Amino acid sequence: MTSSFVQANEKYAANFSKPDGSGFKNYMIIACCDPRIDPESQLGIKSGEAVIIRNAGGSAIDALRSIIVPQHAIGVTGEIAVFHHTDCGMTKVTTPAMREMLKKANPDRQDVAATVDGMEFYEICDVEQSVRADVDFLAENALILRGTRICGWVYDVETGRIEKIVERVA
Ligand SMILES: [Zn+2]
């Protein structure tokens, strides 16, 4: 992999011109890190147009730090779109099972046990319900700028289509 990165970057840098930020459209996307999710191509987002935050499941709770910093320190004040997706890996794990797995991988490590017992993995049972809960979490969180429009969407990995589930204002 590393060699292909270097080759690709050499090509990229050969025609590089520093972005001036003028293409930025002042909105944020939160999406899952699943490789089947490609927000740029699935949503028609051009490079440099949006802040895109990705984590396992597209969890707004997990993304909170990465939302607050652009909002308050950089001035990204536009809409937040939360995307969860069908067949997500986070529907196949649970917090207790993840904790057990990590403890088993690190036997005799009390520090690991204590760390994972304090970790939440934000598993998903129902994808529509989870996207609603994440939009509620952001809309009702005092750390999110008042007046921010927050939309919740589900992406279907079988059809490639998106569906808007909910919209709120913080
Ligand atoms: Zn996922």
pLDDT, the chain, mean: 96
List the chain domain ranges. 24-88+124-169
Per residue in 10-32, pLDDT tens? 999 999 999 898 999 999 999 99
The rounded radius of gyration (Å) of the Cα atoms in the chain is 18
Integer Cα distance of 66 and 95 in angstroms: 22
Q: What's the rounded Cα separation, in Å, for the pair 65 and 114?
A: 23
- Over the stretch 59-85, which tens digit does the pLDDT of each residue have? 999 999 999 999 999 999 999 999 999
Q: Is the pLDDT of residue 43 over 80?
A: yes
126 is in an annotated binding site: no
Q: Which residues contact 37 (CB under 8 A, 6 or more apart)?
A: 31, 54, 58, 83, 85, 155, 157
- CATH assignment of 24-88+124-169? 3.40.1050.10
Residue 88 is assigned to a ligand binding site: yes
Determine contact, residues 82/149, Cβ cutoff 8 Å: no
Return the pLDDT at 88.
98
Ligand 1 centroid–CA 73 distance in Å is: 29
3-class DSSP string for 106-137: CCCCHHHHHHHHCCCCCCCCCHHHHHHHHHHH
Confidence (pLDDT) at 3 = 84
| AA identity, residue 102 | L
Write out the residues surrounding ion ligand 1, Cβ under 5 A: 32, 34, 88
pLDDT surpasses 80 at 1: no
